[in-house]
Amino acid sequence: MKNKTDNNSPLFLHKSLKLPIVVIKKAMFYQLNRKFLQKL
């Protein structure tokens, strides 16, 4: 029962959401770099 409440806690949700945000930021950064290099 304790595990279920832990999984629904804001901290757990924050941890599970943190990774996709980092991946999205890296992808956006990569896209910007590619556009910049194409202009050169």
Answer whether 38's CB lies under 8 Å from 32's CB.
no
Predicted confidence at residue 40, as pLDDT, reads 73
Q: Residue 9, SS3? A: coil
Identity of the amino acid at 15: K
Structure tokens at 19: 């990774």
Structure tokens at 12: 């757990």
Range of the domain at 32: 2-39
pLDDT of residue 1: 47
Tokens 């910007």 belong to 32
Report the predicted TM-score, pTM, of the whole model to 2 decimal places.
0.45
pLDDT profile of the chain (40 residues), mean per 10: 59 71 90 89
Q: How many domains does the chain have?
A: 1
